[in-house]
Amino acid sequence: MAVKIRLKRFGKMRAPHYRIVVMDSRTKRDGRAIEEIGLYNPMEEPSFIKVESDRAQYWLSVGAQPTEQVAAILKITGDWQKFKGIDGQEGTLKVKQPKEAFVAPTKGSVILPEAVTPKKAAADEAPASEESTEATEAE
């Protein structure tokens, strides 16, 4: 039985989300997997990659062959270099920076416009319209 480490697609149309799985090479792309060893979301910036390193090392050691896409992911995480025993075992994985914590502004630091109520707005407009009619009558 030939075992492959490959991607199993999830998500909506035009919004793919993948699981990195170990499968028999004859099964369908989204078929039953032997084991799930990671996640991959290419739509985030930078791409979200999470691989269980110890399980990936185990499956590579017993002869599972990664597909081209999974091999590239394993090189990014450094698992492929660790398996082959070459330099670069720390990988080149980029991690999204955490968002800054929201800090509510203090009461005096923000200038807010005065709240205009409908009654106040109507009262302000009425004298202005009377003044303009009186000005036109005077001319």
**pTM of the predicted model as reported, rounded to 2 decimal places:** 0.65
Q: Which tens digits make up the pLDDT trace of 1-44?
A: 699 999 999 999 999 999 999 999 899 988 898 999 999 999 98
Residue 79 is predicted with a pLDDT of 87
SS3 state of residue 40:
strand
Checking if the pLDDT of 59 tops 80, the result is yes
- Asked whether the predicted pLDDT for residue 69 surpasses 90, the reply is yes
- Quick check: helix, strand or coil at residue 35? strand
> Over the stretch 77-109, which tens digit does the pLDDT of each residue have?
888 888 888 877 667 777 777 888 888 877 777
Higher pLDDT, 118 or 47: 47
Give domain limits for the chain.
Answer: 3-84
Strand, coil or helix: what is 72? helix
The pLDDT score that the predictor gives to residue 34 is 92
Closest CA to 64 of 9, 23, 7: 23
- Residue 41 CA to residue 49 CA, distance in Å, equals 7
**Which of 59, 93, 88 lies closest to 76, judged by CA?**
93
C-alpha to C-alpha distance for 104 and 76, rounded to whole angstroms: 39
Give which of 66, 18, 20, 70 is closest to 44, Cα–Cα.
18
Confidence at residue 40, expressed as pLDDT on a 0 to 100 scale: 92
Please provide the CATH number assigned to the domain covering 3-84.
Answer: 3.30.1320.10
